[in-house]
A = this chain, B = another copy of it.
Amino acid sequence: MTERILSIDTFDIRFPTSRHRDGSDAMNPFPDYSAAYIVLRTTAGAEGHGFVFTVGRGTEIEVAAIRSLAKMIIGQPVDELVADPGVLSQRLIGDSQIRWLGPAKGVVHMAAGGLVNAVWDLAARRAGQPLWRLLAALSPEQLVAQIDWRYLRDALTPDEALDLLRNATGGRAEREKVLLDEGYPAYTTTPGWLGYDDEKLARLCAEAVEDGYRLIKLKVGANLADDVRRLAIARRAVGPEVRLAVDANQIWGVPDAIGWMRELAPFDPYWIEEPTSPDDILGHAAIRAALAPVKVATGEHAHNAVMFKQLLQAGAVDVVQIDACRVGGVNENLAILLLAAKFGVPVCPHAGGVGLCELVQHLAMFDFVAVSGTTQDRAIEYVDHLHEHFTDPVHIENGRYVAPRAAGMSAEMRPATLTAYRYPDGPEWTAA
């Protein structure tokens, strides 16, 4: 009997992180890291897990969107689905009625991405491979066929993408060995949350250097005098060689960003992340031109490949920050990795939150093995929150992500977590 998708269950999972101000930044002083969580089951008993990362209120809206889109997957034959998730990706994103609510952005796009990722998790589990390795074993032709090219050809044609991928096939085996032996560089945001006091900042910065990190990120943008003081503390703690990036989480307009960052220049910031609206491509280009050699980084809120295309076309970014849960899933992130490779801009994935490190490591590692072929000036964000809730949590050694060996996308939360943190009726919430 043909194996089919039997059920898709959704869960509103919230962690009360705001109680300790973990994750606090200029735009979001009190986040409760959360997930609209997806479990997809087949008639043969196989599972695929996925989720959309959220920060508290509104997770119920994301759950509603996933439930609406899930109807389009129930009953689908599994062999076809996992052989070519690009078909599903385009059907979910292109639905002629639901696309009015986007198109390709916000709640409905993230819901599509969560479901697409769950199908890739299923595909990798069935193949007995970690996702990064499954992707890296696909042919250039198979990879290019996973992408919706409609709006991308003016920046990158499928033929150019094929050339890029073919050029990278040579060293795949060697790079896979390097990755398995040495892991992939990480950077840490753990020391830099706005809600932490000066003593904690200094201590965590020093610890990060001891732990092997060469890039540390601090949140800025709430108060200039505080930022100057905190950056001075951090620079003293890490010395002149370790890179210090700063992240404004969209707090500024274009002129504010330029003025504020000039005050922070004495502390040699490596990049300024999200200096303004994530939609403001021309604004990022203006900020980059004004602040060079300080780099401009963005992407965690860039809602689709068309936005990344323009950030690259406009010369608006030095660092592309993909996110595993913002765009339409693995397929759209393949397009973004190829665009970044074409323009020669390094990708440093956004992570942290809950489960973002677990998911996005697969994309960065695939990029190293099969697309860009390098980890030069690249690192995956790392924050040491909430990994204990996953069955295959990320593992960091000496400031590097250890390549995951288990089959899948590392997306699965522990069953006890799905019970305890379910909102609003799990015991962690009813007890509070």
Binding site for B on A (CB under 8 A): 27-32, 54-58, 60-62, 64-65, 68, 95-110, 149-154, 250, 252-255, 276-283, 286, 301, 303-304, 306-307, 309-310, 313-314
Contact = CB atoms under 8 A, between A and B. Distances in A.
Contacts of A98: 57-58, 61
Contacts of A107: 61, 65, 101, 106-108
Contacts of A152: 253
Contact of A68 (B55, B57, B68): B57
Contact of A96 (B31, B255, B279, B310): B31
26 contacts: A30-B96, A30-B97, A31-B96, A31-B100, A55-B97, A55-B100, A56-B97, A58-B68, A58-B97, A58-B108, A101-B107, A105-B303, A107-B107, A151-B253, A151-B276, A152-B253, A153-B254, A153-B255, A154-B283, A279-B307, A279-B310, A280-B310, A281-B282, A281-B310, A282-B313, A283-B306
Given A68-B61, A153-B254, A279 B105 contact: yes
Contacts of A97: 28, 30-32, 54-58
A306 B313 CA distance: 18
B105 A280 contact: no
A308 to B, nearest CB: 10
Copies in the complex: 2
Nearest to A100: B55
A304 B301 CA distance: 15
Contacts of A309: 280
Given A255-B153, A280-B306, A60 B54 contact: no
Given A107-B107, A281-B281, A154 B254 contact: yes
Given A106-B106, A281-B281, 20 more contacts: A28-B97, A30-B97, A55-B100, A58-B101, A60-B64, A61-B107, A64-B64, A103-B301, A105-B106, A105-B303, A107-B107, A107-B108, A150-B252, A150-B253, A153-B254, A154-B255, A279-B304, A279-B310, A281-B310, A282-B310
